[in-house]
Amino acid sequence: MTESSGHGVVEPPSDTELATLLRTAQSFLGDIAFEVPRGNVRPAQFAELADLLERLARTVRARAEVVVYQREDR
């Protein structure tokens, strides 16, 4: 997601950006899920996961807004 020409409008993520972020989150979640029961997750890793999930949520919301806008525009 990038800001366009100074008007504060955020452009939606590309399909590639969204897919990459989804796969990154999927991989990280799998790793954390495996290590949590073993007690091998450091607080910094939980913070990193939270940041990643917040970024993913913002990205998915941006995509949803674009899809809704495009459908309403037809």
pLDDT per residue, tens digit, the chain (74 aa), is 444 444 555 677 889 999 999 999 999 999 999 999 999 999 999 999 999 999 999 999 988 887 665 555 55
What is the per-residue pLDDT for 65? 82
Q: Which residues pair with 3 in a beta bridge?
A: 10
- Using CA atoms, how far apart are residues 17 and 74, in angstroms rounded to an integer? 26
13: three-class secondary structure by DSSP: coil
Flag whether 52 is in a domain: yes
Task: Give the domain extent around 27.
Answer: 15-73
Query: How many CA within 13 A on the CB side of residue 20?
Result: 6
pLDDT at residue number 3: 44
The total number of structural domains that make up the chain: 1
Residue 2 belongs to some domain of the structure: no
pTM of the model: 0.74
